[in-house]
Each structure stands twice: as C-alpha cells, then as structure tokens.
C-alpha cells in the first residue's frame, strides 16, 4: 500500500491565534492514491499558495495558512510573510502603530506584532505564506514580489471557466445550454464540490450509470443541476460526467463563494495544454525575478 507523505509544518513556534477564525494549514494536493479511495486534498487555490511561497524564496509547495474566516495573528518570532489569494484588508500592529499589509508584497514582523484582517474585496480563500527571518536576504535587498495581474495571462480574459467535454458529454440533449445559461453558485458548497443553479435545466438521456472515476474539476449532472467537483472530492461518482474544468482553471474555482455568477466556455485539448504551460511558465518567471531583480520598497513592503 502506498503511504501519503506527511509534511511537517514549523508554524507553531512562529505565531499563534488570538482570535481563531476559520483557517487551516495546507500544502499541495497529493495524487497517486485515488485507486485506494483517497482524494488529493490540499490547498484549494494552489496557484496562490505557490505564488506566495515563491515570493518568500520558499519551495512552491511549502505549507501555508489557508484562511476562510480571518483570525487575529500574534507573531512569536521574527518572520517574513506574504498574502495571496482572496484580497482582504490587512494591518500590522507594532505597539501602538499600524501599517497596511498589502497583498503581493513581502513584510517582516517580529515578536509581539499582530496581524488583523478587515473587509474582503474579492475571492474566498486568503493564503498567509511565511518563512523564518526578516525579509532582508543578507545582501541588503528585500525579497521580491509581483502582482497577480502580471502573471495571469493564462486566465480567460473574460473571466470564464474553461472546460473540455466529459465522458458522458454526448448524452446531453442540448450541450449549448451549458454555455448559454447564466449559472450561479449556491450555498451548497464545500471543499468537495459546488452545486450550480440556473435555468433552463440541462437534460441527459442517461438515467442510471455505473460509477466511474472523477477528477479535479469534473462537472457532474445531478437531477437538480450541475455539480463541479473540487480537490477534496470523492474518487468515483455515479452521475454523468458532462464536462471537466481544465487543469489551469481548477484553482480559480477555489475562490468562488456562494451566490456568484459563473460562466463557461469550451476549449480543445491543445488549448488546455497551452494554458497549463503558460501557468507554469508564469510561476517560473516569478521565481527568476525574485532571485535576480529584488529591491527594497521604501513604502514598507518589498517589491520587484
């Protein structure tokens, strides 16, 4: 039997929660045990996790804090951190002074400092990535960063989620309705998947089927409407698999909350592969820029 490798996380000595919120330590999904009924799990937005770690000079898959409802964090030892993913207002309190902590910047904090969060601007899950030590790298320069808009050329410019046909796509009565419809996410969502609501309803001539394997982003057609499976999904399913969200866009699903409009567009396999390569190249460029072009930002964060 294959064993899932356990990743140790040294965060307990670095900070504690004064107000817990809803958050947990996550790393990258672990694939390879689906035949044993074990889902990949891991971070819901791996791109944000990787981006934050690369800004700090960490390995891309280093564990970080995935925040759904923000906590209040007290720093216990000197560390550097970066916020990625869902954008929330954040502040660093040092004694009686306050400073804003912007997303996509690297900050240094010390024992007794506190990090608090305010209103959310967009997205669902924020990532608090960190490493021990200050943001200075020993050469007098700061750790670098770059905004999401500079490395998101792989995403659909119209904000749509891109899909490929699924195994039971041909059993749909009118596949065009999936793309013409205005879908809305519902409150029936968790890390396993999200249910969509919309009219008119899709119709499929397949009533019963033998359960088959599913993947991240599989779109199943249940009697009450489509379900998109996420990273903590089951490993097999018995509903028709009408579409599958492309690999590049699965991370985007992790930032949808209840009641949001979601639109889809169909692409082909070559396009899906191209977008996946563009996404990996964006992270590689970020890593190179972080190593070669970093300098301190007098405003208090650190920029490329």
Q: Are residues 100 and 148 in the same domain?
A: yes
Instruction: Tell me: do 76 and 34 sit in the same domain.
Output: yes
For residues 245 and 225, state if they share a domain. yes
Model-wide pTM > 0.85: yes
Task: Find out whether 81 and 102 touch, Cβ atoms under 8 Å.
Answer: no
- Assigned domain for 53 exists: yes
191 in any annotated domain: yes
Alpha helices in the chain (DSSP H): 46-55, 176-180, 247-253, 269-292
Same domain, yes or no: 53 and 112: yes
The answer to whether residue 255 sits within a structural domain is yes
CA–CA separation, 172 vs 126, rounded Å?
37
Instruction: Name every residue whose Cβ is closer than 8 Å to that of residue 106 and which is 6 or more positions away in sequence.
Output: 55, 56, 80, 81, 82, 135, 142, 143, 144, 145, 301, 302
Q: What is the CATH number of the domain that holds 182?
A: 2.40.100.10
Q: Are residues 292 and 207 in the same domain?
A: no
Same structural domain for residues 227 and 132? no
Q: Which range marks the domain in which residue 188 is found?
A: 161-262
Per-residue model confidence as pLDDT tens for the chain (304 residues): 444 444 444 566 789 999 989 999 999 999 999 989 999 999 999 999 999 999 998 999 999 999 999 999 999 999 999 999 999 999 999 999 999 999 989 999 999 999 999 999 999 999 999 999 876 543 333 344 566 777 888 999 999 999 999 999 999 999 999 999 889 999 999 999 999 999 888 999 987 789 999 999 999 999 999 999 999 999 999 999 999 999 999 999 999 999 999 999 999 999 999 999 999 999 988 888 766 644 333 333 433 3
Rounded Cα distance between 154 and 276, Å, is: 8
Q: Exposed (0-12), middle (13-18) or buried (19+): which is 199, by Cβ within 10 Å? A: exposed
Six token digits for residue 293: 């072009």
Burial of 234 (0-12, 13-18, 19+ CB in 10 A): middle
The answer, yes or no, to whether the previous bond of 200 is cis (omega within 30 of 0) is yes
E strands along the chain, which residues?
Answer: 15-19, 22-26, 64-69, 72-75, 79-94, 97-100, 106-109, 114-132, 161-165, 183-189, 193-197, 212-213, 218-222, 225-229, 236-237, 241-245, 261-262, 264-266, 295-296, 302-303
- The verdict on 43 and 119 lying in the same domain is yes
Domains contained in the chain, number: 2
Shared domain check, 82 and 44: yes
Could you tell me if 130 and 175 lie in one domain? Answer: no
Q: Are residues 102 and 141 in the same domain?
A: yes
In a domain, 24, yes or no: yes
- Indicate whether 267 belongs to any domain: no
Query: Side-chain half-sphere of 67: how many Cα atoms within 13 Å?
Result: 26
What's the CA gap between 247 and 239, in Å, rounded?
A: 21
Residue 122 lies in a domain: yes
Q: Assess whether 170 and 241 both reside in one domain.
A: yes
Q: Which residue has 């390879």 as its token pair?
A: 32
In a domain, 5, yes or no: no
Residue 71 forms part of a structural domain: yes
Measure the N-to-C terminal CA separation of the chain; round to a whole number of Å: 46
The strand pair at 218-222 and 225-229 is best described as antiparallel
Residue 14 shares a structural domain with residue 121: yes
| Residue 296 contacts residue 142 (beta carbons within 8 Å) | yes
């Amino acid at each position: 039997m294959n064993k899932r490798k356990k990743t140790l996380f040294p965060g307990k000595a670095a900070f504690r929660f004064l107000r817990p919120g809803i958050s947990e330590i996550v790393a990258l999904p672990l694939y390879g045990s689906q035949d044993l009924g074990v889902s990949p799990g891991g971070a819901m937005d791996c791109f944000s996790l990787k981006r934050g770690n690369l800004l700090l000079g960490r390995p891309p898959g280093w564990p970080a804090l995935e925040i759904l409802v923000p906590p209040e964090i007290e720093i216990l030892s000197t560390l550097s951190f970066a916020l990625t993913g869902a954008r929330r207002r954040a502040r660093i309190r040092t004694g009686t002074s306050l400073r804003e902590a912007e997303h996509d910047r690297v900050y240094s904090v010390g024992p007794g400092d506190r990090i608090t969060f305010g209103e959310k601007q967009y997205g669902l899950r924020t990532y608090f990535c960190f490493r021990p030590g200050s943001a200075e790298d020993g050469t007098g320069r700061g750790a670098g960063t770059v905004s999401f808009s500079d490395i998101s050329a792989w995403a659909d410019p119209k904000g749509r989620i891109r899909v490929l046909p699924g195994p039971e796509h041909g059993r749909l009565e009118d596949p065009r309705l999936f793309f013409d419809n205005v879908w809305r996410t519902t409150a029936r969502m968790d890390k396993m998947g999200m249910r969509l609501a919309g009219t008119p309803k899709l119709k499929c001539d397949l009533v019963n089927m033998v359960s088959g394997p599913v993947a991240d982003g599989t779109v199943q057609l249940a009697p009450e409407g489509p379900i998109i499976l996420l990273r903590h999904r089951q490993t097999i399913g018995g509903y028709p698999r009408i579409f599958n969200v492309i690999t590049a866009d699965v991370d985007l699903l992790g930032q949808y909350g209840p009641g949001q409009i979601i639109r889809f567009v169909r692409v082909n396999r070559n396009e899906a592969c191209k977008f996946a390569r563009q996404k990996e190249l964006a992270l590689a460029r970020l890593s190179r820029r972080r190593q070669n072009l970093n300098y301190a930002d007098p405003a208090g964060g650190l920029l490329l």
